[in-house]
Structure 1
């Protein structure tokens, strides 16, 4: 059952294109006020203008910009009804951010964790719903909690790091719900035709050959996010991982071990220098 979104405040990261943009357009059309978070100034402002929302600029490879984003959101909104942690990317080459973290790790997981923690009091006061984008690539993850910077991982063109960070997003969503009581879910949007594949020849080839049969449009990929953000009630246990609209999607077996989300959360807090929650 859909809910009346008039007057609701929804923060969507990675909203300047692709699935994030499609979700922003759909949710704004139902009355939500959307905070459009993106890295590219022109695209982010264009989407904000398109949906009648507000643009917020932040590069998730810089944690100072994530902290500034949190400050700006808290100053702008007295309540936040939905936080969609949708920002992320694929990094075919190993690199390190100015903060000293693996770029894939920071962009796909650490930055969203930090943003959520910085907004946590406002989210809890608003009884907010937090939705985190993951992927079925988690099936190929081999996550070592003692090596969260992937120093000892084979890079495999970036695929292993991508799979590991998307598994971390599932674990984060589970533990966020357990620790805070917030409604927290993760979801796989499907294989989406978007800018994600711009630097990946194999993905570009696959889209060209079988795109309309195998790959979804951004609008189709956004359906899970729109459903989780816009439903009156989500008929699934808190922390559930959805494969598009289907709860309890197939994921890496590590997601079924209740110790792993707790351990990852605590190690992430230490990495980011956050006080224990």
Structure 2
């Protein structure tokens, strides 16, 4: 069955691979990216619409949602939320949020909510690119709520781990707060693309030199992402055909999510803090 699928972070890497594979399988694919030229190139390849947005600006996320709704007449089957990255020194966006958290988590969180009604009109699926780095994430919760700002102990790697933990918590939160939608998180593997190249983190070194030969190819990871987008929520995991809503997958197998990702209180606290950060009501 043909689906209408939006893929963010589709200007290159696994997002571009996923978009091309989905188009080859007959789906209508819309691609979103930050770089206009590369995004339009991928859109041309898949015969779909191109949308340009910088997730570091929530205003552009809102504009992206409005443009997608207009292009799809308010019906979208799948949101593949793939955009993100490892950034450098701690910085705040113009919206007042820690930049790594906004680009990797808060912008996708807002986009899910803005497209929620369109997704309900369709298959209602959200595929979120996460990372095994979420195991190192530590999001503190105090009386004021979950702290997504990482004011103390900042490092690019820690900021990324916290954002990826927030991704997995969001997928769990969709099951709790938006039961008419289905969401899944994927660790695609450590992929040999340009990901991380703009960071000052030592993690960027993993993507260079000899270590690069040991990484997953973007073709393999992108195909996995496409398989989930074309799959169906089910009670059991049938590789690349059915997947469990709220689940976390490591490549093409069931993954072991962190203990923190199962903490109901943390899921709720991060959901509320995320909603506040992007200007949404907590429910």
TM-score (norm 1): 0.92
> 1:240 aligned to 247, 252, 263, which one?
247
Give the equivalent residue in structure 1 for 2:240: none
- Change in 2 beyond 3 A, CA 1:95/1:136: same
* Distance in 1 between residues matched to 2:261 and 2:233, nearest whole Å: 23
State the Cα distance separating 1:255 from its structure 2 match: 0.6
- Change in 2 beyond 3 A, CA 1:116/1:233: closer
Q: Does 1:252 align with 2:250?
A: no
C-alpha contact 1:137 1:166 (8 A) present in aligned 2? yes
> 1:138 aligned to 128, 134, 152, which one?
134
> Which moves more between the two structures, 84-93 or 252-261?
252-261
Give the equivalent residue in structure 1 for 2:12: 17
TM-score (norm 2): 0.90
Give the equivalent residue in structure 1 for 2:72: 77
Structural mapping, 1:204-223, within 5 Å: 204=205, 207-212=208-213, 214-223=214-223
Q: Which stretches in structure 1 are left out of the alignment for 5+ residues?
A: none
Give the equivalent residue in structure 2 for 1:148: 148
State the Cα distance separating 1:211 from its structure 2 match: 2.2
Aligned pairs, number: 268
Give the equivalent residue in structure 2 for 1:119: 115
* Distance in 2 between residues matched to 1:131 and 1:22, nearest whole Å: 15
State the Cα distance separating 1:223 from its structure 2 match: 3.1
State the Cα distance separating 1:176 from its structure 2 match: 0.7
* Distance in 2 between residues matched to 1:129 and 1:67, nearest whole Å: 20
- Change in 2 beyond 3 A, CA 1:260/1:50: same
- Change in 2 beyond 3 A, CA 1:251/1:46: same
* Distance in 1 between residues matched to 2:196 and 2:28, nearest whole Å: 30
* Distance in 2 between residues matched to 1:202 and 1:91, nearest whole Å: 10
* Distance in 1 between residues matched to 2:63 and 2:203, nearest whole Å: 37
State the Cα distance separating 1:172 from its structure 2 match: 0.1
* Distance in 1 between residues matched to 2:139 and 2:186, nearest whole Å: 19
State the Cα distance separating 1:147 from its structure 2 match: 2.0
Please, what is the CA RMSD of the aligned residues? 1.6
* Distance in 2 between residues matched to 1:127 and 1:50, nearest whole Å: 24
* Distance in 2 between residues matched to 1:220 and 1:237, nearest whole Å: 21
SS in 2 for 1:197: coil
Give the equivalent residue in structure 1 for 2:173: 175
> 2:21 aligned to 23, 26, 33, which one?
26
SS in 2 for 1:110: helix
1:47-94 per-residue CA deviation (whole Å, 9 max, x = no partner) reads 000111110010000011000001101111031111011110111211
1:111-167 per-residue CA deviation (whole Å, 9 max, x = no partner) reads 000111111111112232101110001111111143211112x123x0000000001
C-alpha contact 1:223 1:245 (8 A) present in aligned 2? no
Moved over 6 A (4+): none
SS in 1 for 2:115: helix
* Distance in 2 between residues matched to 1:251 and 1:222, nearest whole Å: 21
